[in-house]
Amino acid sequence: MTELYYLSATELKQQYRTGQTKPSEVMRAYINRYHQVNEKVNAFSFTFFDDALKQAELADLEVLSANTKPLTGLAVAIKDETYISGQITTNGCALLTEDVATSTDPVAKRLLENGGIVHGRTTTPEFSVSATCWSNLWGISRSPWNPEVTSGGSSGGSAIAVASGMASFANGTDIGGSIRIPAAFCGLYGFKPAHGRVPEIAPYNIDPYCHHGVITRTLEDLKLGYELIKGPEWQDSHSFVPENNSAAKPLSQIKVAVSTDLGFFNVEPDILAALNETVESLQQIGVTVDFVDLDWDEQVINTAKVHQRSHMGQLLLKHWGTPDKFNKLNSYTKWYLEKVKELKASDILEANLHLCEMWEKISPIFQEYDVLLCPTLATTKVPADFDYSKDTIQINGIDVEPNKGWFMTYPFNTLGQCPVLAMPNGMCDNNIPSSLQIVGRPYQDNEVFTIAEQLSKTVAQSFYKTKFPSFGEL
């Protein structure tokens, strides 16, 4: 029997309705779980357990009402980057430990308005500029499946909280993979919506690389959260994206393309083996699946770097580039801002031109196929304290670019109009889940979720049902 703290949000909602359990019991289970395991994995920067328990006790009766809200009685962990009015938001930076938000971000606002209880804020690397999750302020965050390995970043604490049974689900943000990378390292579902589908605060809303979403243990929970946070918001002009109301294709009519390496990644054998098993599971039920060659190269890495430095990097440099602040930043943040200083206008032009080339090369695939499958990570062998500013990383015995050579998410931030869902599809040799990306045509969610639903019943069926994190206790 699945422990109470590992029940999905949709299962909890059903149990609330039938009186099998109640929100206060579930909240106590999350709090007890925190005291059992958080010291091992470091998911939270702040907790609000006393207030959350009071809210859960009030929700005990509310969930029995016919007018209960969609998230009433569910504990939602919020990334310590997302503003909630009256709460400190550190962004993983020691210079922001007294920075109290005066407004609430659209996603957090919608989760709260729909009854979610925020019982804690989750760890993130400083200013979310790392794909691992550690900071001088909050320490090292670790995957509960293998604590020697990173949880992934930047929404690492959010993923740990969900994977460890300390929250119903959590939010995350994604400018280069910051939802999908931690979802992968923690065996979860993480969705990067198409740009504009979910509202964001200025000036990040005008950045097509930037996305906001949720991280969950099940596909049903992800769809629940996504439906509540998407849609227009007046503070974000980019969020007025028309819904695609076309009928979803039946599974038998969906055509699937598969890329093992996106043209240039060096990928570990255990990840490729899981990908092949995923392909076979689809072919066995008659889905058309073809391997394709994508003519991208390592220029994709530089294009993503340039864009991130030209937008978010310039903002950070403006606020934190003075010597009195700069010298107090983390090592990787300093390295990042030094690279921002080197950026030229011609670099930005070349990156934008290369973005167009990337689309020219992938668009023929999307004209023929409904979705593209590829790995989320090229390797799961990334230490929890990995620092791309000074450390090296190898895949199959070959050095790869330490900043972006080991995760395969950011090409679809460059092509930000494509929705991408990451989900588990097996286990790697180091006891970290393997993870698959399902990439959709621009603004076409339906086929992404259809394929994910099928795979949730096959290659991912055991996760959080019979297969749970071991916290290194193998």
Assess contact for 214 and 71: CB atoms under 8 A.
no
Type and span of the H or E element at 440: strand 433-440
392 occurs within a structural domain: no
Q: Domain span at residue 109?
A: 4-239
Termini Cα distance of the chain? 21
Is residue 156 predicted with pLDDT exceeding 60?
yes
Cα–Cα distance for residue pair 146/58, rounded to 1 Å: 37
Is residue 217 predicted with pLDDT exceeding 70?
yes
pLDDT tens digit sequence for 91-125 = 999 999 999 999 999 999 999 999 999 999 999 99
Is residue 1 predicted with pLDDT exceeding 80?
no
160 occurs within a structural domain: yes
Cα–Cα distance for residue pair 115/12, rounded to 1 Å: 14
Is residue 248 predicted with pLDDT exceeding 90?
no
Higher pLDDT, 226 or 1: 226
DSSP state of 31: H
Average pLDDT over residues 136-140: 98
Residue in this structure with the two tokens 């320490």, named with its chain if needed: 139
Helices (H), 236-330: 269-283, 299-308, 314-320, 323-326
276 occurs within a structural domain: no
pLDDT tens digit sequence for 403-440 = 999 999 999 999 999 999 999 999 999 999 999 999 99
pLDDT tens digit sequence for 342-370 = 999 999 999 999 999 999 999 999 999 99
Helices (H), 144-258: 156-163, 180-185, 219-229
Q: Is 261 helix (H, G, I), strand (E, B) or coil?
A: coil
- Residue 66: predicted pLDDT: 84
Q: How many CB atoms neighbour CB 364 within 10 A? A: 10
- Residue 247: predicted pLDDT: 86
292 occurs within a structural domain: no
201 occurs within a structural domain: yes
- Residue 246: predicted pLDDT: 83
166 occurs within a structural domain: yes
Average pLDDT over residues 54-59: 98
Helices (H), 42-142: 49-62, 106-113
Number of domains in the chain: 1
371 occurs within a structural domain: no
468 occurs within a structural domain: no
Residues known to be catalytic: 79, 154, 178
Average pLDDT over residues 156-174: 98
pLDDT tens digit sequence for 370-396 = 999 999 999 999 999 999 999 999 999
Residue in this structure with the two tokens 């795979």, named with its chain if needed: 455
Cα–Cα distance for residue pair 122/111, rounded to 1 Å: 16
Is residue 474 predicted with pLDDT exceeding 50?
no
pTM for this predicted structure? 0.98
Beta bridge partners of 400: 393
CATH label of the domain that carries residue 233: 3.90.1300.10
**How does the average pLDDT of the chain come out, rounded?**
97
Strand 134-135, strand 139-140: pairing:
antiparallel
